[in-house]
Structure formats: C-alpha cells, structure tokens
Amino acid sequence: MMSQTSLESKLEALQCHFTWDLDPSRSKLFRLRYQLEDVGTEEGNSWLGHIYNLQGYVQYKLGFNEDAQSLFNKAAEAFCQTRRADSDEGPWLVVNYGNLAWLHHHLGEQAESQAYLSKVDALMNKYPSPSQDELHPEIYAEKAWTLMKFSADQKQLAADYFQRAIRMQPDMVEWKTSHVLLLAEAAAKTKTGLDAYMLERMRIANEEDPENLYLAVYYLQQNAKTMKKEEVKDEARELAQKILKNPVSSYSGMKPLLWVYFENVSVDDAIDLAEEALRRHPDVRFLKSCVALCYRRIITSRGSSPKKNPIRRGVSLHKEVISLYPQSSLAKKIDLANIYAKSNHSQAKAEQIYQELLESDLDPEEKQMVYSRFANYLYFDRQDSQGSIQYHLKAAEIPQKSRFRENSIRALGRIKDTFRRRAEELEKFLQNLQEP
C-alpha cells in the first residue's frame, strides 16, 4: 500500500471531474441533475458515457455516494457500447477510472482507490496522447463537454479543449458538432450574431452529422433570416415530423424547434406541436416543461394573440412542472407569478409568490433572478417605477456575474436617461458598481 501522502498526490494529478475545479452551488447541482436526467439514456447517444460520469459527480457532490458509484459504473458500460472498440478498455475510460479512484478515496476504501489509480496508469501507458505536451484527445473532449455545462465563463475554455481534441482526432463527428454548436450559441448572444463564416461552419457540420436533429433545428433557426418564409415553414414542419418519431430527449431539438415555430410559423402551430408531442409521451417531464414554456411565452408576450384562452392551461402546467422539478423550480415559480399577473383575477396570487421568493433562502444568482424579475413585474404590471428601481438596484449590487445582473444594469441605464429626478443617484451607483 502506498502512503496517504503519495496516494493523495497521485489523485490530485488525475484528469477527472474531482480535479477540474467544478464547484457549483447546491442549486446549480440540482439544475444540472435534472438537465442530465432529461437528456435521456437511449442507445446510440454518443455522449452517454460523459452524461453518466457527470451525473455521478453531481450525485457525489449532493451526498448520494451509492448513486454516484452506480452512475460511474454505468458510464464505463456506456463507453464500451458507444466506442464499439475491440477491447473493453480504452483512453475514454481514463476520466471514469479517475472518478472512481477519488470516490473510493472519499469513502475510505484506499485499496480500491489505489486499484483504479493503477488502471489509469496502465491506460495512459497503453494509449499515450498523440501529442507529447498535451492530454489525450478523449480527455480533452470529455473535459470540454463537462465545462460546457457549467458557466458562460468556462465555455471559451471548453471550445479550446474541443479544438485540441479535434486537431488530434479529426474523425469524431460528435466532437465537431458540439464544438460548432458551442461557438454558434456564443456568437448568437453577441450584438452582431452569427456571421457568414459561422453559418457556413454550421452548414458543413449539418452535412457531416445529418442524424443530429438538434443541430439541424439550430441551423435552421440561425439561417431563417436569409431564407424565404415558406422555405422555413416547410423545413420546420419536416423536422417536426422527424423529432416526433425519435426518442424523447432534451437533445432531440424539440425546444429550439418550438422557437422556430413561434418566430416563423405561428403561435397556434407551436402550441399544437408541443401538445402533440406531450400527447404521444404524456409522462415525460421534459415535454411538460416545453409545453409550459410555450404557454408562458404566449401569455406574457405583448403582441401575441393565440386563438384559445391559454391562462388556465398555463397555470395548470406550471404547477405540475414545479412539482416535477422540486429542487430546481425557481424560474417556473416566477413564470407562474407572471402568468397570474396577466390575469385580472390573480394579482394577489402573483404578489404572494413573489413575496415568498423574496423571503426564501437563495444563493446570489438566484437572488439576482428574483430581484430582476420582480423589478420588471413592478414596472410593467404594477406601474410602480420607484419599487422597480429599488429591486433593479438590489440585483445589480450583488457582485455575481449573471444575465439577471446585466439585465438590471441595462434597465437602470435606461431609467437614468428618462427619470431625471434620480438620474444623478443612478449615474453614481452605476459608476461605483464592483465587477464580479
């Protein structure tokens, strides 16, 4: 048996989830757990091993060690299936064995931990990286996929890791697809959006990975501006038929397709598509969430005019989705409050939900979300400008980088330019804001 110090130094040197500086808040862990469960586990998903590995790490962080071990074992099985290799072992298991070495160490099972360390050494000797100064491409790819799930700050690093993996092992189509999607989603959030070069990369990726319907839908969504309306509608309907026939998954493309329908087909067709998917799979939580999102959008969007009165259905779905994601339902509770706010008879219910959220124990980013969304509610639904300013200030002064903070800072900038009585105070506040 090696000494405790030697064991710990070897564990620290591993490439796995336990050494990648992943330190999400408890609320983020629950969100991740639900997201990964919603991906589904159908055969043929090339990311299945990575999904189980990350699920195992999330369960460990939440304190569920038995579940973590079971998921790490499933990851090893999934890699054997998806890699279809002659051998049961390969470089794709380095991260998985590293996770198991750490888990056994934390459980006080040092002999088992050491056994997995030996397995990692054997794999790395048998399958060295093609580039002496870099990690094996399988490790880069898994690290990239994992970082992609955590925060906007880490997505640039994830893109860099994907690029390194692809350079060394260019035949892995799913790595190329994920890399292009990552770059495209980042570009879509900029003021200029996707340029011609990025659209061309998406077109090529779409040709190389024709079975990836999520990619096909996302490419259509980004390319729609340059297409004739009828072409977009026809392609969207064709993709809808394919997605409805496939296994249900958050990777299936249903969610972005609903936005394509909203923007290019019609509000009512979007609702009909979401309801048809749910009719075919009535017990799938992810689809209930998609349908709820559709109703929230048509109820709370100005200028949206569906044929049917959607409020009752929207309320019912949101209540159900809140119960299905019990530890990660903050956004849905806010959506429910905003649906109530649009109903003439339910202002008191909207107020009650917000008051409960304002008094609850939240992490910094969750507080920003509640403050920022409550500020919008006060401004648009209660015509309370002063109250709205107060809560935008609360959201902005929390030194945590998030889109909710950015939204509140932008709102305060607009208010400063139109609300002369408080312009000087708001100007001073914005100048003195701490960068997170």
275 is a domain residue = no
Domain boundary among 98, 127, 156: 127
Least confident of 81-90, 229-238, 259-268: 81-90
Are the beta carbons of 117 and 94 closer than 8 angstroms? no
Give the pLDDT score at 419. Answer: 82
| 201 located within any domain | no
> How much is the pTM?
0.93
pLDDT at residue 359 tops 90: yes
3-state secondary structure 227-264: CCHHHHHHHHHHHHHHHHHCCCCCCCCHHHHHHHHHHH
Q: Give residue-wise pLDDT tens across range 382-393.
A: 999 999 999 999
Structural domain includes residue 109: yes
> Which tokens go with 424?
């000087």
Domain end (from 109, 127, 145): 127
Domain contains 39: yes
The three-state secondary structure class of 111 is: helix
Q: Judge contact between 260 and 234, C-beta under 8 A.
A: no
Q: Residue 93: which CATH number?
A: 1.25.40.10
| pLDDT tens digits along 24-42 | 889 999 999 999 999 977 7
Query: Which range (196-205, 213-222, 410-419) has the least confidence?
Result: 410-419
Among 111, 127, 143, where does a domain finish? 127
Q: Is residue 240 part of a domain?
A: no
Which domain covers residue 408, as residue numbers? 361-436
Number of domains in the chain: 2
Amino acid at 236: A
Task: Report yes or no: 184 and 202 within 8 Å, Cβ to Cβ.
Answer: yes
> Worst-scoring range by mean pLDDT, 28-37, 80-89, 126-135, 253-262?
80-89
What was the pLDDT predicted at 1? 60
Residue 21 domain flag: yes
pLDDT per residue as tens digits for the range 285-328: 999 999 999 999 988 875 555 445 788 999 999 999 999 999 99
> How high is the pLDDT of residue 342?
86
Cα 354–Cα 359–Cα 364 angle in degrees, nearest 5: 95
Long-range (24+ apart) CB contacts under 8 A made by 282-290 are 284/248, 285/38, 285/321, 285/324, 285/325, 286/38, 286/248, 286/249, 286/250, 287/248, 287/254, 288/317, 288/320, 288/321, 288/324, 289/38, 289/321, 289/324, 289/325, 289/332, 290/254, 290/255, 290/258
pLDDT number for residue 80: 86
Identify the pLDDT of residue 81. Answer: 84
pLDDT greater than 60 at residue 94? yes
